[in-house]
Each structure stands twice: as structure tokens, then as C-alpha cells.
DNA sequence: AAATTTTGTTAGATTCGTCTAACTTATATA
DNA sequence: TATATAAGTTAGACGAATCTAACAAAATTT
């Protein structure tokens, strides 16, 4: 399979993300444009190209779905991204809010040997610093968690296993509340009106919004 | 200083290399084009751009010299290149003929923190897997070796400290002769006509050409 | 069913990095 | 010094990735 450009790789990655996350397995032009911070016209051109190359299925005015080669390529990039994040976090002492930005660049380095050696060097990690699963060399990975903190009932406890939002802003906020992966969270109370929650982590109580709670995955 | 493109970075790196290696501290359009495997017309356009940005000094039909900002940028890229080569070699078990190609990509990753953490992780190495000096965070590095195997007299011994040609083809050839960094080489004989040498390394004798000998740095 | 809004497409332009072909200037050679 | 060759420049083109402005189709609301 021919070499994809940096840009094409990013489109496939974004497409996989939104087709999966929407649950419907499909996406629209505007939706993709918004997600990638591009104009619909720009995306439209690229869609014709990706269709031409056999990565996606799509026809004029229709919805976009990913074809197998597109999915595989996207998963490969996600694998690289998460391995690099793990490397930065575990070996170079980056904090979890610093890794994403650099991994966005590193994920595009082309070298099959590098990816496999890196995986081995890291002892074949299964999760990245944000709790997201790392696909293996065959593209297989654990299904993502579905339950978020916002769904935990009053008085109940849950363990934080991942974050949905990977932005530095959010991650710093999470740290500020004294929260990290694998911490146990107890829901003390929840407002009926706006779902504002009081949670307790390691004995420390904090107020968190619905938006916050929806971005914390728990089990 | 504004962000340079991948391409601009490569021009500066190539320019530093040829201005230094020529000894004259200057380069010509065609020379640079040949070195980068581009057409002179292409290079000409870029030269106007790099001049405009203050990285080089050059006027129509004249020679190119590098200005301080250009040198600093080029040295920074060389630092990254050599640190990555060292990482691949020392930590990921790449062979010395495999590292260059991947480092050509990695050298363009933008993150000051990454470079410094990588240097620390590698324990601030001073030389890369080919024996080339790694500039420190201030751009300072040991002056390069000048003497090559071709200058060693018959019956004399010398220690190999670096290679000039970093191509996989050459490096594999060097390994084939049983030669590696820090090995002691004894010159057994040399033909007057074509400088073909017989050398001895770890008790093993081999015939090597002038071209080969000129690409091995020794002290 | 008509009107409005949302979604998606097309045409035309721009920037970057590259090329070929034609031209100009500088250098080397007879 | 005249001519030939080497080195360097310019004009015009192109593909990739982006944009804006105008248009078309589909979906939603009245
Ligand atoms: Mn990430
Ligand atoms: Mn990316
Ligand atoms: Mn190299
Ligand atoms: Mn490069």
C-alpha cells in the first residue's frame, strides 16, 4: 500500500475517531471539518481523494463510512501515538498533559521497525498515560470503557480508568482536584438541576461540573 | 524566531554541511542542488527565501555563506539527529547502518523539552553511533577529526574514531571487514598506482580501496 | 407544501515546494 | 581576446493542501 501523506493520515485518524464515537459508524463532511478545524470545502476535496484510494466509502451528499484499509491505517497511527505517549511519560518524565502534543508529531514517523522496537522497549504496554488502550501489532485492542463519572450514583464509589478529553487544560484541572488514573472516587452528592457533583478522592472533596464528570471514565 | 518548515530545516542542515566540509565556508547553488538531489532552479528559489529570513548571506550570481541564526538552527537539527541516532542505537537495538534514515525524520520533531529530556535519558552522550560529535544545548561540540585512514603510512597503526560516509551501504561494508569504532587498524601495504591498501583489524586482513580509506576517520 | 435552516459541493484563488526550458553571467580554454 | 563551458537565474507550470464565496441538495419547521 502506497505511502500516505501526513495530512491523509490525520484525516483517517479523525474519521475513525468520530465514526466510532458517534456509535453510528458514519460521519458527515461538516462534522469532520469541525473536528479537524478545517473548512467543509477542504474536507470535501480530501474525501474524494480518500475514496479514490479505497480508504473510505462515500458518495455525493451521502455519509462517510470507513473501509477496512482505512480502519487499519488509522489504528496503526493510534498505536504509534499511544506508544509514543507512553514513552514520553514513562521514560522521559513528561507529565500526562504534555505528551499528546508531541505524540501528534511522532505518530507520523515512518518505520515499522521503530514502532515494534519501541513497543518492546516499553514492555508491550496495554494502556497509554490517559488510560486509553494501545492496539497491538495486529490492530487488536480492548474495547473502550463506556461508563463515565456522571453516571455514578450518590454514595457510590468508582475507580477512574481513563479520561475522554486529552487536552492539557482538562488534564491539569483533573490533577488539580487530586485525581489520577486508578484513584477511587466517591460521589458525595449531585444537584438535580445541573448535575453539579461533590466528589471525594483520597479524603479530599471537590465540586465538579457535569462536563467534567462526563470526561472521566470509570469502572 | 518563527517556525521553519521541514524543508527549510533540511536546506540549512545541508548548507552547514557543505560550507564546513568545503573548508571555504561557502557554497554554490549547483553544489547545494547536487547535494540535496534537487534542481538548481528549485534551490535558487529557496535561497532567496532563506536570505529574506536572515539565515544566509547571498547575492545574485554570488556565493552563499551562512549567517549566525542559520548556523544555530542547523546545529540544533544536527543535535537532534545525532541524539535520535544514539537513542535508536543504544536503547532500541538498531544497528549503526539503520539509524540515519529514521533520524532524518525524527530530527524535525518540534519540542525543546523532548530534546533536552532525551539528552538526559541518554546521559548526555558526546558522540553518535558513527563517531560524530553531538553538539550540546549551546551548540558547542568537539571539532571534527581531519585525518583519514588513507593518510596512514605503511606499517603504522591508527584507531578508527568515526566514519565520514553514513550510508547503509558503506556501513555494512565496514562491518563486513570486521571493523567498528575504536578498532585499531594496521596498514600492511599500499599500492603506489591506486592506493589500494591491505589493512589488518583484529588479526584479519582485508583489501580496501582509496575511496573506502578516505571515509574512515582515525587518530 | 412552502419556507427556512443545515449540510454538502463547486469554482476559483493562494501558498509551498518542486519541475522544465530558456536565458544570463562568470569562468576556463584555446 | 574570443569562444566554449559551467554556474546561476527567470518564467511558467504543476500538485498538494488550504481558503472564500457562491451555489445546490437535504432535512426540519411552520
Ligand atoms: Mn493523545
Ligand atoms: Mn496527527
Ligand atoms: Mn546520520
Ligand atoms: Mn532531514
Q: Is residue A72 part of a domain?
A: no
Domain count, chain B: 3
Nearest CA in chain A to B98: A113
By C-alpha to C1' distance, D26 is nearest to: A61
Nearest Cα to Cα of residue B117 among B80, B90, B74, B92:
B80
CA atoms within 13 A on the CB side of A219: 7
Cell numbers for B182, please give them. Answer: 575504536
Hey, is B178 helix, strand or coil?
Answer: coil
| Alpha carbon of B166 to ligand 3 centroid (Å) | 6
Same domain flag for B16 and B62: yes
Same domain flag for A167 and A208: yes
Give tens-digit pLDDT for A160-209. 999 999 999 999 999 999 999 999 999 999 999 999 999 999 999 999 99
Rounded CA separation B181/A207 (Å): 61
Nearest CA in chain A to B100: A111
Same domain flag for B60 and B83: no
Same domain flag for B62 and B83: no
Q: Is residue B71 part of a domain?
A: no
B61 CA to C24 C1' in angstroms comes to 10
Last residue of a domain, one of A85, A110, A143: A143
**CB proximity B193–strand D (7 Å threshold):** no
Cell numbers for B117, please give them. Answer: 529530556
Nucleotides in D strand less than 7 A from protein CB = 7-12, 16-22, 25-26
Q: Beta-carbon neighbour count of residue B20 at 10 Å? A: 15
Give tens-digit pLDDT for B81-110. 999 999 999 999 999 999 999 999 999 999
**Is residue B16 classed exposed, middle or buried when 0-12, 13-18 and 19+ CB atoms within 10 A define those classes?**
buried
pLDDT in tens, chain B (219 residues): 788 999 999 999 999 999 998 888 999 999 999 999 999 999 999 999 999 999 999 999 999 999 999 999 999 999 999 999 999 999 999 999 999 999 999 999 999 999 999 999 999 999 999 999 999 999 998 877 789 999 999 999 999 999 999 999 999 999 999 999 999 999 999 999 999 999 999 999 999 999 999 999 999
| Alpha carbon of A100 to ligand 1 centroid (Å) | 4
pLDDT at position B143 is 78
**CA of A89 to nearest chain B CA: how many angstroms apart?**
11
**Is residue A155 classed exposed, middle or buried when 0-12, 13-18 and 19+ CB atoms within 10 A define those classes?**
exposed
- Sequence-separated (6 or more) residues with CB below 8 Å from residue B4: B12, B73
**Among all strands, which nt has the closest C1' to A42 (CA)?**
D18
Q: Closest-lying ligand to the alpha carbon of B130? A: 3
**CB proximity A63–strand C (7 Å threshold):** yes
- Sequence-separated (6 or more) residues with CB below 8 Å from residue B14: B32, B35, B36
**CA of B126 to nearest chain A CA: how many angstroms apart?**
19
Beta bridge partners of A208: A197
pLDDT at position B205 is 95
pLDDT at position A25 is 93
A183, A175 Cβ separation under 8 angstroms: no
Nearest CA in chain B to A109: B105
Report yes or no: B171 at the A interface, CB cutoff 8 Å.
no
Q: What CATH number is given to the structural domain containing B84?
A: 1.10.10.10
| Alpha carbon of A136 to ligand 1 centroid (Å) | 17
What are the phi and psi torsion angles at B216 (to 5°)?
A: -110, 120
Q: Is residue B139 part of a domain?
A: yes
The dihedral over CA atoms of B202, B203, B204, B207, expressed in degrees to the nearest 10, equals: 100
Q: Is residue B168 part of a domain?
A: yes
**CB proximity A5–strand D (7 Å threshold):** yes
pTM greater than 0.75 (yes/no)? yes
Same domain flag for B208 and B152: yes
Give tens-digit pLDDT for B114-148. 999 999 999 999 999 999 999 999 999 887 778 99
Same domain flag for B59 and B93: no
Same domain flag for A167 and A129: no
**CA of B134 to nearest chain A CA: how many angstroms apart?**
19
**CB proximity A39–strand D (7 Å threshold):** yes
The dihedral over CA atoms of A107, A110, A133, A8, expressed in degrees to the nearest 10, equals: 60
Last residue of a domain, one of B112, B143, B174: B143
- Sequence-separated (6 or more) residues with CB below 8 Å from residue A141: A75, A126, A133, A134, A135
A9, A108 Cβ separation under 8 angstroms: yes
Same domain flag for A50 and A109: no
Give tens-digit pLDDT for A135-147. 999 999 887 778 9
Report yes or no: B105 at the A interface, CB cutoff 8 Å.
yes
Same domain flag for A99 and A126: yes
Rounded CA separation A31/A34 (Å): 5
Q: What CATH number is given to the structural domain containing B167?
A: 2.30.30.90
Q: Is residue A156 part of a domain?
A: yes
| Alpha carbon of B65 to ligand 4 centroid (Å) | 20
Rounded CA separation B154/B139 (Å): 38
**Residue owning grid cell 561494508:** B173
> The domain containing residue B85 runs over which residues?
77-143
Interface of B with A in 35-94 (CB under 8 A): 88, 91-94
**CA of A8 to nearest chain B CA: how many angstroms apart?**
17
Q: Which ranges of chain A have pLDDT less than 50?
A: none
Averaged pLDDT score across all residues of chain B: 95
B119, B64 Cβ separation under 8 angstroms: no
Rounded CA separation A179/A206 (Å): 10
Q: Is residue A1 part of a domain?
A: no
Same domain flag for A106 and A137: yes
Last residue of a domain, one of A143, A170, A186: A143
Same domain flag for B152 and B211: yes
pLDDT at position A2 is 81
**Alpha helices (H) along chain B:** 6-21, 29-36, 40-52, 68-90, 99-106, 112-121, 168-176, 210-213
A90 CA to C16 C1' in angstroms comes to 38
DSSP H or E segment with residue A211: helix A210-213
In order of A85, A90, A206, B92, the CA distances from A125 in angstroms are: 11, 11, 32, 16
Same domain flag for A192 and A211: yes
pLDDT at position A133 is 96
Amino acid at each position: 500500500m502506497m505511502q500516505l501523506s501526513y495530512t491523509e493520515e490525520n484525516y483517517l485518524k479523525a474519521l475513525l475517531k468520530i465514526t466510532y464515537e458517534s456509535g453510528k459508524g458514519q460521519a458527515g463532511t461538516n462534522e469532520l471539518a469541525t473536528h479537524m478545524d478545517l473548512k467543509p470545502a477542504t474536507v470535501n476535496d480530501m474525501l474524494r481523494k480518500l475514496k479514490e484510494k479505497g480508504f473510505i466509502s462515500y458518495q455525493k451528499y451521502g455519509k462517510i463510512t470507513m473501509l477496512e484499509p482505512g480502519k487499519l491505517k488509522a489504528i496503526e497511527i493510534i498505536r504509534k501515538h499511544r506508544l509514543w505517549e507512553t514513552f514520553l511519560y514513562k521514560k522521559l518524565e513528561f507529565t500526562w498533559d504534555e505528551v499528546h502534543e508531541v505524540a501528534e508529531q511522532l505518530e507520523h514517523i515512518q518505520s515499522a521497525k521503530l514502532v515494534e522496537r519501541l513497543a518492546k522497549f516499553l514492555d508491550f504496554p496495554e494502556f497509554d498515560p490517559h488510560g486509553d488502550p494501545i492496539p497491538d501489532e495486529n490492530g487488536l485492542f480492548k474495547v473502550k470503557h463506556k461508563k463515565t463519572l456522571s453516571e455514578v450514583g450518590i454514595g457510590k464509589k468508582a475507580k477512574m480508568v481513563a479520561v475522554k478529553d486529552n487536552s492539557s487544560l482538562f488534564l491539569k484541572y483533573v490533577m488539580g482536584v487530586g485525581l489520577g488514573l486508578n484513584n477511587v472516587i466517591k460521589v458525595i452528592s449531585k444537584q438535580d438541576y445541573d448535575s453539579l457533583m461533590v466528589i471525594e478522592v483520597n479524603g479530599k472533596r471537590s465540586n465538579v461540573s457535569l462536563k467534567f464528570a462526563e470526561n472521566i471514565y470509570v469502572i
